[in-house]
Structure 1
Amino acid sequence: MRLTSFTDYGLRMLMRMASAPEHIFSSAELADEFRLSRNHLAKIMQRLSGAGLIETRRGGGGGAVLAQKPMEIRLGTVVRLLEEGQPLVECLGVDGGNCVIDGRCKFKARLRSAEAAFFADLDRCTLADIALDPKPVR
């Protein structure tokens, strides 16, 4: 199983936010910390915000904060959200892809089973379980 960089950075952002729940994180701050373009970060934040996982605030002193407690955010939920539209393999996509052996392939069922086990494991964990230790003050 391989996660997209979109999901990877989304999880990192949430882990960072969970490490300092009282802090309002600006997009510039997170982009600098993760060495990520602000544009890419904004797309991730938009998806997380739309799902009610983070709350964004505009203007001076604005930024993003967790909209839920870290122990209420299930990792499976986050990964499903951020990996939406990214099937494990082409044939598991909504349209089934262009596989010429579809209908005879026994591997597809194994992949579905493995993917279900992967998400079941993530559903047992919360953001609180993987939150970063607070960043040391310099």
Structure 2
Amino acid sequence: MRLTRFSDYAIRVLLYLAAHTDRLCSIGEIATAYDISQNHLMKVVSDLAGSGYLQSLRGRTGGIRLARPAGEINIGRLLRHTEGEIDLVGCAECKLNGACGLPDPLDQALEAFFAVLERFSLADVMGRDQLLQRLGVGGHGDAEVIRRHREP
């Protein structure tokens, strides 16, 4: 299975914000950090804000931040949200629809995929110093941020 670009960008936005909990961040800043389209990120951020994953503050001193701690953001539930309804092989258009036994095993496999991801929080995937350094966190002043990501 391959995640959509929307899901990929959603995870990237949340990882970036989880690495920068000490301040508000801008969409432009995140787009620059990942070298991706700011227009695409605006759609992702709007969806994540509307879904309660992040807070968006307007105005000159505004920005975005996580709406709750990284440990409370479940990766499996996030991806269920961003991926929406998944049809792995396009059964609806197939001549064998209703006569083939493949949809049930595929549904079980998809459920198993999400069940594994639901065992992990955003904080769980933040635990690497290298990841934090690549996101601009990891200097001497950022020891507290790194420590917080490792605490249960």
Q: Which whole-Å deviations, capped at 9, do the CAs of 1:35-64 have from their partners, x for residues lacking one? A: 122111000001111110000011112111
Determine if the alignment matches structure 1 residue 20 to structure 2 residue 20. yes
Q: What is the alpha-carbon distance in structure 2 between the residues aligned to residue 85 and residue 119 of structure 1? A: 13
Q: Give me the TM-score of the superposition, normalised by structure 2.
A: 0.81
- Unaligned regions of 5+ residues in structure 1, if any? 92-96
Q: Which has the higher contact order (CA 8 A, sep 6+)?
A: 1
Q: Which whole-Å deviations, capped at 9, do the CAs of 1:72-118 have from their partners, x for residues lacking one? A: 11101110111114433322xxxxx2111011211111110110001
Match in the other structure for 1:7? 7
Q: Bigger CA drift: 15-24 or 70-79?
A: 15-24
Q: Which amino acid aligns with 2:132?
A: D
Q: What is the alpha-carbon distance in structure 2 between the residues aligned to residue 33 and residue 104 of structure 1? A: 49
Among 122, 128, 141, the alignment partner of 1:127 is 122
Pairwise CA RMSD: 1.6
Q: What is the alpha-carbon distance in structure 2 between the residues aligned to residue 67 and residue 87 of structure 1? A: 31
Change (3 A) 1:98 1:42: same
User: Number of matched residues?
Assistant: 133
Q: Bigger CA drift: 79-88 or 4-13?
A: 79-88
Q: Which amino acid aligns with 1:58?
A: R
Percent identity reads 38
Q: What is the alpha-carbon distance in structure 2 between the residues aligned to residue 77 and residue 12 of structure 1? A: 15
Q: What is the alpha-carbon distance in structure 2 between the residues aligned to residue 129 and residue 27 of structure 1? A: 24
Q: What is the alpha-carbon distance in structure 1 between the residues aligned to residue 122 and residue 94 of structure 2? A: 37
- 3-state DSSP of counterpart to 1:133: helix
Structure 1 or 2: larger helix share? 2
Change (3 A) 1:85 1:109: closer
- 3-state DSSP of counterpart to 2:132: coil
Q: Which amino acid aligns with 2:115?
A: A
